[in-house]
Structure 1
Amino acid sequence: MSSTSHADTAAAAQDGAPAPASRRRRGVRRLSVRDRVVVGVLLGIPLLLDLAFVWFPAIGTALLSFTKWNGVGSLHTQTCKPNVPSILNNGCWYGVQNYHQAATIYPEFWPAVRHNLIWLAVFVLIATPLGMLFAVLIDRGIRGSRMYQSILFLPVMLSLALVGIIWEFMYSQNYGLINTVLGRTSDSNAIDWLGNPHLNLWSVLVEATWRQSGYVMVLYLAGLKAVDPTLREAALMDGANAWQTFWRVIFPVMKPINIVVMVVTVIESLRAFDLVYITNKGINGLELLSVLVTSNIVGETQRVGFGSALGVVLLVISLVPISVFLYQTFRREEAS
């Protein structure tokens, strides 16, 4: 240190002034007690809510899945005894028997898994591309785009219960709109869209796609509005057409939105419940894992342990595609 710097330091010390900024870390501000309290409150309350309403119930559900419990009485530490009536053998640890029974002797399990995977495939292959198409068309500024945006987003604003009721009237055998248009309203040739186990799943998927495409449209519209306009101008100057501009320039830039849409699509498809429960309580061709969880936990049987095992299976199924997608996405980013 030069003699001048020593002199400045000594003079500052004599005057009672703080040490020069060169001896402190620049750009770092010490938090006061009040600031720490505010930060603790802002971070602590959401963390506690997240733990209370997400993580603790998830961990509790995973633990209950290894028990044989009907929701009445306390849980015990002993293992369930074989050849003991169920009413006397309650609140004990059951091991993996709930999972084994679900996969082997529970007849609705595998149809429900298949229906959930079909639901996911329809959302990924139909609802998401349809919502993306709506977003691109509206973003191009076509005439009446505001009106179209409101019409397409209207199903998202409605509750799923109301959506199910609306489509029940449209699918009605004798006076529904669809059968009326098709001329199939008589008792002899009326199409039972919601009662026929070969048709009802696809009929409900039309309802779900009608709503989901509007949701995806809004997400992609937000992503398109955030894209730098100079990218489009540069692509046009290079001679790219509208299709090439979107897929080779705009779509890769919207990677964060694509991740959000993927996660939302998986979650919405696997937690589907309202529409099928309103239609026929999730039976006769409309079995879904979410409906089976509800019917076992709060239904007439009240098999909390078995229903919790089904809930864990649903959680694992939902985490697998999300984890694989996020892993592949971040791996490509690291490689690039």
Structure 2
Amino acid sequence: MTSRSSSAVAEPAPAAADRRAPGPAARPRRRRGRVPGTVWVFLLLAGGVEAIWIFWPALSTFYFSLTSWDGLDAPRFIGLENFTSMARDDVFHTALRNNAVWLAGFAVGSVILGLAMAVALDRPRRGVGVYRALIYLPMVFSLLVTGLFWRVMYQPEGPVNAILAAIGLESWQRQWLADPDIVLLAVLVAAVWRQVGYVMVLYLAGLKATDPALADAARVDGCSAWQRFWHVTMPQLRGVNTVVAAITVIDALRTFDVVWSMTGGGPYNSSELLSTYMFRQAFTNQALGYSSAIAVVIFVLTLGFIVFFLRRSFAEQK
């Protein structure tokens, strides 16, 4: 009796000891939320570089847009005079109108062609990888190289006019980069040619994530190929559509290299975009304050489109 009672009394002692001194298994739980110092060091280094090379210049642009500055003397604060000057600047109006045309043509052309290529090359078949690589190949080239390549293509004795002559369309031959009526369209073709492969890859990734059982069920129900694509496949690509639209808008508004290398904004400002006009004001006319104001306009336009797409994306997810 004595031994049993003593053992019964002594049993709770280990439990009390466990409560007072947590074992090794419980200790890591307290340390799990701590971030090592090395991680903070790398984060601070990356954040410092980002702040110096990205955020500070961006914030400085807003200040310089309110000044008159030639890049050499001290900036002189003039308030909103640069923005009021834009209202009277015919070249700025032309660049803004060209940007609207460029945005519409670049977005519609690259998205429709990229989606069509993705649908055509989605199913595995012989040589499909080669076709995908060839379509994506222009994306590997820089925009400057793309512009120089198409500048050669559009020469009066270049391949474009030679092909038109070979198929009996001599009346369509043009001085493509010297005609103010069609130069913007000619440069737009070069930009879309490069962008199609990138959009195709994005849509191929989205098509791989769709549910094929839904398309099979629609086929059994007698839906045509177009009905299956529009009512079954496209609703599953909403997320990809948002990403493609955002990327296309950003690329369209910041387009510079291909236009500058092909036409420099000419002839007679007929292919001038906001980006090329901003560059010309800054580095040709030495009007860095006015060019900063144009950069602010580009930023506001881009931000407006991005906010619109994000709001639509979040609304669709709800």
User: In structure 1, what is the equivalent of residue 274 of structure 2?
Assistant: 289
User: In structure 2, what is the equivalent of residue 18 of structure 1?
Assistant: 23
- How far off its partner does 1:325 sit? 2.0
In the superposition, the TM-score normalised over structure 2's length comes to 0.85
The answer for unaligned runs of 5 or more in structure 2 is: 1-8
- How far off its partner does 1:192 sit? 0.5
CA gap 1:19/1:164 in 2 versus in 1, 3 angstroms = closer
State whether structure 2 residue 171 is matched by structure 1 residue 152.
Answer: no
User: In structure 2, what is the equivalent of residue 53 of structure 1?
Assistant: 53
State whether structure 2 residue 110 is matched by structure 1 residue 127.
Answer: yes
Q: Which aligned pairs between 1:39-118 and structure 2 lie closer than 5 A?
A: 39-74=39-74, 91-104=75-88, 106-118=89-101
CA contact (8 A) 1:297 1:304 kept: yes
CA contact (8 A) 1:13 1:19 kept: no
User: In structure 2, what is the equivalent of residue 208 of structure 1?
Assistant: 191
User: In structure 1, what is the equivalent of residue 6 of structure 2?
Assistant: none
State whether structure 2 residue 252 is matched by structure 1 residue 251.
Answer: no
- How far off its partner does 1:243 sit? 2.9
CA gap 1:239/1:103 in 2 versus in 1, 3 angstroms = same
Q: How many residues align?
A: 304
Of Structure 1 and Structure 2, the greater helix share is in 2
d(CA) in 2 for partners of 1:20 and 1:189? Answer: 80
Q: What is the one-letter code of the residue matched to 1:217?
A: M
- How far off its partner does 1:98 sit? 0.4
d(CA) in 1 for partners of 2:60 and 2:138? Answer: 35
Corresponding residue to 1:181 among 121, 144, 163: 163
In the superposition, the TM-score normalised over structure 1's length comes to 0.81
| Identical residues among aligned pairs (%) | 38
- How far off its partner does 1:39 sit? 3.4
- How far off its partner does 1:332 sit? 3.1
CA gap 1:328/1:13 in 2 versus in 1, 3 angstroms = closer
CA contact (8 A) 2:249 2:302 kept: yes
SS of residue in 1 equivalent to 2:121: helix
CA contact (8 A) 2:66 2:289 kept: yes
State whether structure 2 residue 31 is matched by structure 1 residue 30.
Answer: yes
CA contact (8 A) 1:170 1:177 kept: yes
SS of residue in 1 equivalent to 2:112: helix
- How far off its partner does 1:6 sit? 7.0
Q: Which has the higher contact order (CA 8 A, sep 6+)?
A: 2
- How far off its partner does 1:53 sit? 2.8
CA gap 1:298/1:248 in 2 versus in 1, 3 angstroms = same
CA contact (8 A) 1:112 1:288 kept: yes
